[in-house]
Amino acid sequence: MSDTVHIERAAPSGSLAPVVVAVATGSPAALAGVQAGDEIVRVNGDVPRDIIEWQMAADEAEVELDVRRGGLDFAFSIEKRAGESLGVDVSSAVFDRVRTCDNHCEFCFIYQLPKGMRRSLYLKDDDYRLSFLYGNFTTLTRFTEADLERVITERLSPLHVSIHATDPDVRSHMLKNPRGAMSLRWLRALLDHDIVVRGQIVVCPGVNDGAVLADTMAGILDRFPDLDSVAVVPLGISKFNGEAAMRLHTVAEAQAVVDIVDDWQDVFLATLGKRMVYAADEYYLMAQRPFPPAERYDGFPMHEDGIGMARTFEAEFHGRADEATGVRRGFFAAVDAPPNPAAYTGLRTGVPCGSGAPTGASTISLRPRRNAPIGILTGELGAAVITPLIESLGRDDIRVIPVSNDFFGGNTGVTGLLTGDDVSRTLAAQPQGHRYLLPDVCLSDEGRFLDGLTIADLPRVVEIIETDGIALRAALEQP
Ligand code: SF4
């Protein structure tokens, strides 16, 4: 199947070569002799720029792999079935540097992070490859003709594009970038080549809501009717926001956004046969309105972006869904080792599986009994969704414990942005001996909160459960 040749040849200088972090036992790579720690220099004669190129080469039936190990170069010639996994996990997604964003949006949450967090959290990416791989949104202000050619040739679809406004002046004003005015021409080009594109509008009250939002809806209908779907989401505000023009929505403003989306859903449905635009769950909470019925989400195309999560969670919790609505990330869901998107976006956390208890909690004195009362830890937005579900059970041994996000403050109510410090403070006020459930979305793949703490640092034993209604129901019924 394979053979190994020791060669003496220098790797290209200056490359950010990916490193093999794991080799599956018995895999073609393992049988060839590839080892964890090997630095990948070339695959099939080319220096891969990212995991997309790497995976395409690794999927071929014959893989010529040049690696560097301990200062020496090795070459492996591996034969396998086309499409069969090579069995190699690599260390990152982009090998030639993530393309960073040259916008300066006032609403950017990265500008609203406190100082001193890990460096990767401050990385503003605007890289279509991360859009394809992880669903990150790109503004296309740095997109080029060569990028378009690659996207079309390699069918990098779907992509996720930040629209914000179709009016060129409003858009360039929001991005604080003159190129923002014209870069939606790339969106038109992508759609013309049948690339599936999901759009996003971050609504900033007083900037692109009201008449501007309605105008954007008209612009989408007129210029981009072939978009797959468009998420309308509110800006996030942390207590570190320094932009006076950026503020929270009032209830009336949130209601106006919901109304515009509802009205335009009817227009899109009548003209295009689909609703096209969807408001984030957060809007219905802010507007103090019920969530739309599940059928109005048309299969939840933007579930990852907080659109319809309350309805899918409810259906899962009540046993009306056979499986949880998972995260779909194109064919790279099957990449050997998808790197943690949090390393790139900082704010999207990976979803580790399984459940367990801490191994080294410092102040734990009691493990809860199986029939102990249960506390469900969740962000304030999650609590608004989960509380009615728990009440419907009629059990007085279960309570929802909203964790207020003092770390970020502002309107940061999503569970995925909870820090260990806030969870710890909340738990410290809760009794010993109860069961505490914590959604895994709070933790990175490495089991850390955003502030670096782990569950071992918490003052109570917690059970980590997957962030869906099926897992919650199962945890409530059987510890
Ligand atoms: S919000 Fe996005 S596009 Fe705007 S500055 Fe931040 S990273 Fe860049």
Q: How confident is the model at residue 420 (pLDDT cuts 50, 70, 90)?
A: very high
Beta carbon of 140 within 6 Å of any ligand 1 atom: no
Report residue 63 as tokens: 């893989």
- In the predicted model, what is the mean pLDDT of residues 69-93? 92
pLDDT for residue 367: 66
Segment 143-163 shows an average pLDDT of: 97
Q: Which of 98, 106, 139 to mutate to test the pocket of ligand 1 (most atoms within 8 A of CB)?
A: 139
Out of 43-47, 49-53, 342-346, 413-417, pick the least confident.
342-346
Handedness of CA 78, 79, 80, 84 (dihedral sign): positive
Strands (E), 18-71: 20-23, 39-43, 62-69
Cβ contacts of 130 within 8 Å, gap of 6 or more: 93, 94, 98, 136, 138, 341, 344, 345
Atom of ligand 1 nearest to the CA of 202: 1
Q: Which of 383, 417, 418, 413 has its CA nearest to residue 400? A: 383
CB 90 within 8 A of CB 14: no
Q: Which long-range contacts (CB under 8 A, 24 or more apart) does 193-196 make?
A: 193/148, 193/151, 193/152, 194/157, 195/151, 195/152, 195/155, 195/156, 195/157, 195/158, 195/159, 196/157, 196/158, 196/159, 196/228
Residue where the block lists tokens 């791989």: 133
pLDDT(330) > 90 = no
Sign of the dihedral defined by the CA atoms of residues 15, 18, 20, 21, in that order = positive
pLDDT (0 to 100) of residue 332: 26
pLDDT tens-digit map of 209-229: 999 999 999 999 999 999 999
Residue 322 has pLDDT above 80, yes or no: yes
CA of 404 to the centre of ligand 1 (A): 26
Q: How far is residue 345's CA from residue 331's CA, in Å, rounded to a whole number? A: 20
Q: Is the CB of 399 under 6 A from ligand 1?
A: no
**What's the whole-number average pLDDT of the chain?**
86
Closest CA to 164 of 243, 230, 241, 236: 230
Quote the percentage of the chain above a pLDDT of 90: 73
Q: Whose CA is nearest to atom 4 of ligand 1?
A: 105
pLDDT over 70 at 339, yes or no: no
Predicted TM-score (pTM) of this structure: 0.85
Q: Which residue has the higher pLDDT, 74 or 14?
A: 74
What are the pLDDT digits (tens) for 242-271?
999 999 999 999 999 999 999 999 999 999
pLDDT at 346 over 80: no
Ligand 1: does its nearest atom lie under 6 Å from the Cβ of 105?
yes
pLDDT of residue 182: 95
Measure the CA–CA gap between 38 and 404, rounded to whole angstroms. 44
Element (H, E) at 201: strand 197-203
Is residue 8 scored above 70 in pLDDT? no
Q: What is the DSSP string of 103-138?
A: ---TT-GGGGSPTTS-GGGG--B--HHHHHHH---B
- Over range 102-110, report the average pLDDT: 94
Q: Which pLDDT score is estimated for 123?
A: 86
Q: What are phi and psi of 168, to 5 degrees?
A: -60, -40
Alpha helices by DSSP H, listed for 155-243, are: 168-175, 184-192, 210-223
- pLDDT at 6 > cutoff 50: no
200 lines ligand 1 (CB under 6 A): no
Structure confidence at residue 371 (pLDDT): 83
For the CA atoms of the chain, what is the radius of gyration? 24
Which residue's C-alpha comes closest to atom 3 of ligand 1? 103
Ligand 1 atom 6 nearest Cα: 108
| pLDDT per residue as tens digits for the range 279-291 | 999 999 999 999 9
- Nearest-CA neighbor of 439 among 321, 343, 324? 324
Say if ligand 1 is within 6 A of residue 101 CB: yes
- Percent of the residues in the chain that have a pLDDT greater than 70, as a whole number: 88
Distance 142 CA to ligand 1 centre (A): 12
Q: Is the CB of 104 inside a 6 Å radius of any atom of ligand 1?
A: yes
Residue 8 or residue 372, greater confidence = 372
